[in-house]
Chains A and B, each alone.
Chain A
Amino acid sequence: MIDIIGLLVGEISGTSRLIVDIAIYFGLFVIVAMALNFQYGNAGVPNMGCAVQVIAGGFTVSAITTRVTFMIVKAAGVELLPFASDFDWVYNNQYNVSVLTNSFLETHMLLGISLLLFSLGVALVMGAAIGYIISLPAIRLRSTYLMITLITMADASQIFGRNIPAITGGTLGIFVPNVFAWYPGDRGVLLAVVTLFIGLIAFFIFKTMLNSPYGRLMRAIRENDVTVGSVGKNVVGIRRNILIFASGITALSGVMVAFYYSYVVDNAFMRADWTYWPWLMLILGGPGNNAGTFLGCALIIALRRGIIVYKWYLERFLFFPIAYAESLILGILLILVIIFRPRGLIPEKLLYIPGINYRKMVKEGTAIDWREAKKAEQKTNRSKFWGKKERSESE
């Protein structure tokens, strides 16, 4: 603790750097995880292609923001190397960005901030557009087919990114101007603050939507979409809106990722990193409520950062590189969580609907008593697991 208090006069280093690091990754992933919770936990849309939503944000920064920055900077008189053709775009990019543009941005604080806001705004739109595109085939399909389609589309977007140099420099990648260049101190903290702030806003937006009648509608669709459709709601349209909305917000996270690494390449958005880990966070924490997502995210981020920081210690026991260990842990944890805690650590609580008398329902035999139902279910599950001897239902 002493060195944290001592920060008031010092710089960010050591433990506090670790904290900032964790905070940044947490901020990035919590946005993605919350959006995923919105889609799957509440609306039942298993979006296994959420990497593509993050990619939308990242590619916006690399393709659009960088060009806009170049144009503005050029108009302000700084001599940039040519960047019109594809080859020049990639080849001259590093010099353009690291030397020329960044030194320009150091003196123009307002430009830096406005570029950031511009990126966020455009990413929101682009994310929504991607959400629309992926919702087109996916909307009419059910669970497993939906998953297959979404995973395929996420992979396809990576291929687009890899092969069109104008977007993200093909396999070489594009450096991104540092919009925080004007900040005299440590860039990481500022980035963490911005990311967490966006996360907080996203959290409030999601919370409001989830507790509104729209949220109840989403949960109804999750449980039984045929019924909801028969009542007259446009289920397909609602699902599409949910995807679009969640995509937009996830893209914001993609923007912050791009700015954090200062470099965008299609391999940076690996499927494992941006789809599987968020899913693990969601399932571990408990799909359906924000508290669970938050907890899952915190635990997983702590785990991953812990592995990276204590790499030297772990490599003494493990004879293989850490990257494989992370994949192993991902796979094993996913399976373990599914088996032992399919509802997650913080299960979704029963919706309280004013006016319904739960006691009366229990007496009349409707199986809605959530306390008894849970115990009975666990009992039958346990007996089913060990063997099919008990077939009698003793309720």
Chain B
Amino acid sequence: MVVIPPLWVNMITYSSLITILSIGFTLTYLTAKIPNFAHGTYAGVGIYVVWTLSKIYGFSPYLGFPLSFIIGGIVSVIIYVLVIRVITRLGGGAVVLTISTLAIQILLTAMLSIYVYWARGVHGTYGMGFMLKEYDFKIGGYSGIFPMSFLICVVVVILLHILLTRTRTGVAMRATAEDPELASILGINIDTIQKISWFLTGGLACLAGAMYPLWFQSYPNSGGAIMVSIMAGSLLGGFNNIYGAIIGGFGVGFSEIVVTAWLQKVIGPGVGRWRPLVPMVILVAVLLFEPRGLTGVYERFKASKIGEKAFAMLRRKEE
């Protein structure tokens, strides 16, 4: 049996979650052209769906995954219809929409807190700071969530790729993302496509959120707290490139854990408190030096002398 050091287990689980969330965040940016600050809070909704299922009704959290996907999608579409679509139709700009997503984050977090508070009164369960690790199954000594999270991440990526490149809906989504007016001339119903994209991102975020309490301690504010890591992951990979988000998500997740662990060895155990600083530094550094993230680096490389020579060599090899 391969012994995987616990650091790697931590890294892969955390990074898989962050990656799913980063992909969703990038998807929102592609379709709605705004960063969705409430994205992390959709994950929070997922956390509490699973909590309700497990702590109150006693089901296994894994049953909650598809349920949270659906609930997340529905919540996301409702918010789109009630808030985002209204503001866009009234001519709001990017700043105003972003502020509205912030408002949604505040609203959702407050509603989650209220729900937890209410549930404590009605069902007597404690929802502030809980973990569902004991509901998990074990594979060879490791918690089931470790391979499951990675597996789900891979499956999501593959499905998304198929959706976006092979299906008509996916192609319509990409067309809308690139040029909405042209897409509507071609007969694509922009509103339906937007609803589908929001459903997808909401569902994905909730799915990631559903996995969160199986490994980490969860609070109503957990969703908002990882927002920085999500944004860093998305930006690192390039804000409008889904495949970049994969690399970015894993990059940020790995860095957070590796850098903290390494610093702890070098400087001392107190460094753990500085961990939230790592994604912040990555975020600011990316925006300072290469706002398009790794995609920008890739483009620059392609356009540079070395890149041209490399690609020419590759092309010649194919002939």
A and B directly contacting (CB within 8 A): yes
A residues contacting B by CB (< 8 A) are 46, 48, 136-137, 141, 143-145, 147-149, 152-153, 155-156, 159, 162-163, 272, 276, 279, 283, 319-321, 324-325, 327-328, 330-332, 334-335, 338-339, 342, 381, 384-385
Interface size for B (C-beta < 8 A) is 45
Quick one: given A141-B287, A156-B277, are A381 and B91 in contact (CB under 8 Å)?
A: yes
Task: Name B263-316 residues within 8 Å CB distance of A.
Answer: 270, 273-274, 276-277, 280, 283-284, 287-288, 291
Separation of A362 and B230 alpha carbons in the complex (Å): 50
B residues contacting A by CB (< 8 A) are 34-35, 83, 86-87, 89-96, 98-100, 102-111, 113-114, 117-118, 121, 228, 231, 235, 270, 273-274, 276-277, 280, 283-284, 287-288, 291
Residues of A within 8 A of B118 (CB): 319-320
Quick one: given A159-B274, A339-B86, are A141 and B291 in contact (CB under 8 Å)?
A: yes
Interchain CB contact under 8 A, B114 and A338: no
Which residue from A46, A163, A319, A384 sits with its C-beta under 8 Å from B89?
A: A384
Quick one: given A143-B94, A145-B291, are A155 and B110 in contact (CB under 8 Å)?
A: no
Interchain CB contact under 8 A, B276 and A155: yes
Separation of A137 and B273 alpha carbons in the complex (Å): 24
Cβ distance A149 to chain B, nearest Cβ, rounded Å: 6
Interchain CB contact under 8 A, A148 and B35: yes
Which residue from B87, B114, B273 sits with its C-beta under 8 Å from A320?
A: B114
Separation of A155 and B225 alpha carbons in the complex (Å): 10
B88's nearest neighbour on chain A, judged by CB, is A384
Cβ distance B45 to chain A, nearest Cβ, rounded Å: 15
Residues of A within 8 A of B105 (CB): 331
Separation of A137 and B284 alpha carbons in the complex (Å): 7
Quick one: given A152-B283, A319-B121, A335-B83, are A342 and B92 in contact (CB under 8 Å)?
A: yes
A-B contact pairs, 6 of them (CB 8 A): A141-B287, A141-B291, A319-B118, A335-B100, A338-B96, A339-B90
Interchain CB contact under 8 A, A159 and B117: no
The A contact surface, by secondary structure, is helix
Interchain CB contact under 8 A, A155 and B228: yes
Which residue from B87, B94, B102, B110 sits with its C-beta under 8 Å from A328?
A: B110
Residues of A within 8 A of B113 (CB): 320, 324, 327
Residues of B within 8 A of A327 (CB): 106-107, 109-110, 113
Separation of A283 and B100 alpha carbons in the complex (Å): 12
Interchain CB contact under 8 A, B99 and A163: no
Interchain CB contact under 8 A, B96 and A320: no
Interchain CB contact under 8 A, B90 and A381: yes
Quick one: given A339-B90, A342-B92, A384-B91, are A145 and B121 in contact (CB under 8 Å)?
A: no
Quick one: given A149-B283, A335-B83, A338-B92, are A283 and B110 in contact (CB under 8 Å)?
A: no
Residues of B within 8 A of A276 (CB): 102, 106
